[in-house]
């Protein structure tokens, strides 16, 4: 590493949901394309220790890292933009920071001092960020602060970042503030007041932003840009228009064309460096492939958390990565499995059916019927985690005649527990970070469909589950045509099932969606979308 790391702090104003994660990922991408060793960190000021216990319909999906972190979904954006794995330390929460401080206090490390937010909590926040920079030898760390300026929870974090600017120097730390310039339907004029107010709020706590990323529908008007610049005390060239784009992957180019790279380099005192054209052309090719589609493919995603598309965000992306690779636009209809019973026929019009992860009883019967429907009607089916488990239950009932087959997650008394608790889970009562998590190696049977899809006899995939296939049933299943072609932990866990002879019927216990990247779709997604296209 040349010298110390530089830090880019991204804060949010006005309201949530402006795409701070995309702005942060895009800035990091620009740094990466300029040859810098960069990574991202997400600060979540909420009191949960991690995202694992949060409802996906309210907060979006739980993104699982290689090392088994249950993280905020922005970590997924960073991984996809940078094509780089993140460790769970990259998602810092209030609970983690306070736990560290309280543990240190209990060990007597503060030597009698009164333990306070400033300096003890703020020091721990700064240390957590600096530890990542040092341990990964990063040149640039982009740190995104969750929430909106003015939230009580984010105050200690913003205070820590303010201190960091003072301590590290203004050529090592810069602040990018993401705001909104809404246009009113009737007049169509872009309004600057919300931005003015949110910059004022930031300044009130001692932070002057160096750059503003202004979200707007259409490109920021020149006079609006001027007004924002003068009221927020941010140079005109640092007021960046982040207007709506067809794909989030277009945002790095949008920022680049407004001189963002040169400005960041100048502010952080780094020698101007030319972007590496090879990497840029690869990135442009990937962005282009999301647009140049030769037709559509219609996928039904049947699940429980369909009320918010973000609750399956990585699955959505993985399907689209696969579509782009084979030149198709993937149209996804999210279907609530609870509302499906009695109306299964509507699934017949889709090119493929996917069942993503889930928990609990609600909507489970709808998923079981969906898995049977796809099997009987020869419609391509991809099941993920819960979609794997319920495909096994559906097969036990529909093909093996075990009418009461179930997972013990739903019916602990079933006579045919086709899916049962992982043995090490017996006696575990805490819900946080106690599932089987993170990357595990899987042996794939050669000569199987999965073997052909992965072209390898060993793969490593991420997990998040408490239940697994009861291998007692494998013989009965295979007699009736469902085979298990992937195992982990010395064959103790079944990981992949398939039905030879079906157009495409594959389900996996792991979560392949977390490994899918733009331009590099995860293999089973690619195979599923391909099969859905072929009639």
* Residue ranges in contact with ligand GLN by CB under 6 A: 357-359, 385-386, 389, 409, 464-467
With respect to ligand GLN, which residue has the nearer C-beta, 409 or 443?
A: 409
> Active-site residue among 71, 385, 498, 523?
385
Q: In angstroms, what is the minimal distance from the CB of 152 to ligand GLN?
A: 33
250: alpha, beta or left? (left if phi > 0; alpha if psi -120 to 50): alpha
Quick check: is 256 catalytic?
no
Nearest to ligand GLN of 32, 389 (CB atom): 389
Q: Is 150 helix (H, G, I), strand (E, B) or coil?
A: coil
Cα atoms in the 13 Å half-sphere on the side-chain side of 415: 5
Q: Residue with the closest Cβ to ligand GLN?
A: 357
How long, in residues, is the chain? Answer: 535
Catalytic: which of 511, 522, 523, 526?
A: 511
Instruction: Give 477: exposed, middle or buried? Use CB within 10 Å, 0-12, 13-18, 19+.
Output: buried
In the complex, the smallest distance separating the C-beta of residue 217 from ligand GLN, rounded to whole angstroms, is: 36
Residue 59 annotated to the active site: no
Minimum distance, C-beta of residue 102 to ligand GLN, in the bound complex (Å): 30
* Catalytic one of 468, 513, 523, 526: 513
Q: Are 378 and 348 a contacting pair, CB within 8 Å?
A: no
**Rounded (10°) CA dihedral 9, 14, 15, 20:** -30
Closest distance of CB 87 from ligand GLN, Å? 21
| Residue whose CB is less far from ligand GLN, 28 or 435 | 435
Work out how close the CB of 466 gets to ligand GLN at its nearest, in angstroms, rounded to a whole number. Answer: 4
In angstroms, the CA 28 to CA 32 distance is 6
- Told to judge if 511 belongs to the known catalytic residues of this protein, a careful annotator would answer yes
> In angstroms, rounded to a whole number, what is the distance separating the alpha carbons of residues 531 and 127?
49
DSSP secondary structure letters along 378-393: T--EEEETHHHHHHHH
Do residues 60 and 310 touch, judged by C-beta distance below 8 A? Answer: yes
Which is closer to ligand GLN, CB of 71 or CB of 173? 71
Give residue for tokens 């009861």: 470
User: Which is closer to ligand GLN, CB of 256 or CB of 440?
Assistant: 440
d(CA 477, CA 492): 17
The residues assigned a catalytic role are 385, 511, 513
């Amino acid at each position: 590493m040349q010298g110390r790391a530089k830090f880019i702090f991204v804060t949010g104003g006005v309201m949530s949901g402006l795409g701070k994660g995309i702005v942060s990922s895009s800035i990091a991408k620009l740094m990466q394309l300029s040859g810098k060793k960069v990574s991202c960190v997400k600060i979540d000021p909420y009191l949960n220790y991690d995202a694992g216990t949060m409802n996906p319909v309210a907060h979006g999906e739980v993104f699982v890292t290689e090392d088994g972190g249950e993280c905020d979904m922005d970590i997924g954006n960073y991984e996809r933009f940078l094509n780089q794995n993140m460790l769970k330390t990259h998602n810092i929460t209030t609970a983690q920071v306070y736990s560290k401080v309280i543990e240190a206090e209990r060990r007597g490390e503060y030597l009698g001092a009164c333990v306070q937010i400033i300096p003890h909590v703020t020091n721990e926040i700064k240390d957590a960020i600096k530890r990542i920079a040092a341990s990964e030898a990063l040149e640039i760390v982009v740190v995104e602060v969750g929430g909106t300026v003015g939230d009580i929870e984010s105050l200690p974090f913003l205070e820590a970042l303010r201190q960091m600017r003072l301590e590290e120097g203004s050529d090592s730390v810069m602040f990018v503030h993401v705001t909104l310039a809404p246009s009113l339907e009737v007049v169509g004029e872009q309004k600057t007041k919300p931005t003015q107010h949110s910059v004022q709020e930031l300044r009130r706590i001692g932070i002057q932003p160096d750059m503003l990323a202004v979200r707007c529908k259409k490109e920021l008007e020149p006079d609006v840009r001027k007004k924002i610049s003068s009221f927020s005390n941010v140079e005109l060239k640092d007021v960046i228009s982040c207007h709506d784009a067809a794909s989030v992957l277009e945002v790095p180019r949008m920022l680049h064309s407004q001189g963002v790279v040169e400005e960041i380099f100048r502010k952080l005192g780094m020698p101007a460096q030319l972007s590496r054209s090879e990497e840029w052309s690869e990135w442009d090719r990937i962005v282009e492939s999301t647009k140049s589609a030769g037709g559509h493919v219609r996928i039904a995603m049947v699940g429980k958390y369909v009320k918010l598309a973000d609750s399956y965000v990585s699955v959505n992306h993985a399907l689209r990565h696969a579509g782009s690779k084979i030149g198709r636009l993937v149209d996804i209809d999210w279907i609530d499995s609870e509302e499906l019973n009695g109306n299964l026929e509507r699934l017949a019009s889709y090119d493929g059916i996917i069942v993503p992860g889930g928990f609990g009883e609600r909507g489970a019967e709808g998923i079981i019927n969906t898995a049977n429907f796809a099997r009987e009607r020869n419609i391509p089916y991809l099941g993920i985690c819960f979609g794997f488990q319920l495909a096994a239950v559906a097969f036990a009932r529909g093909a093996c005649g075990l009418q009461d087959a179930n997972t013990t997650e739903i019916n602990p008394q079933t006579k045919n527990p086709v899916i049962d608790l992982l043995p090490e889970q017996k006696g575990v009562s805490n819900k946080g970070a106690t599932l089987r998590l993170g990357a595990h190696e899987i042996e794939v049977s050669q000569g199987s469909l999965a073997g052909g899809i992965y072209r390898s006899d060993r793969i490593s995939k991420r997990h998040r589950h408490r239940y697994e296939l009861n291998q007692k049933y494998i013989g009965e299943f295979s007699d009736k045509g469902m085979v298990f072609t992937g195992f982990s932990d010395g064959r103790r866990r079944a990981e992949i099932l398939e039905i030879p002879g079906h157009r495409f019927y594959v389900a996996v216990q792991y979560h392949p969606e977390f490994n899918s990247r733009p331009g590099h779709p995860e293999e089973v997604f690619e195979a599923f979308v391909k099969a859905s296209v072929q009639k």
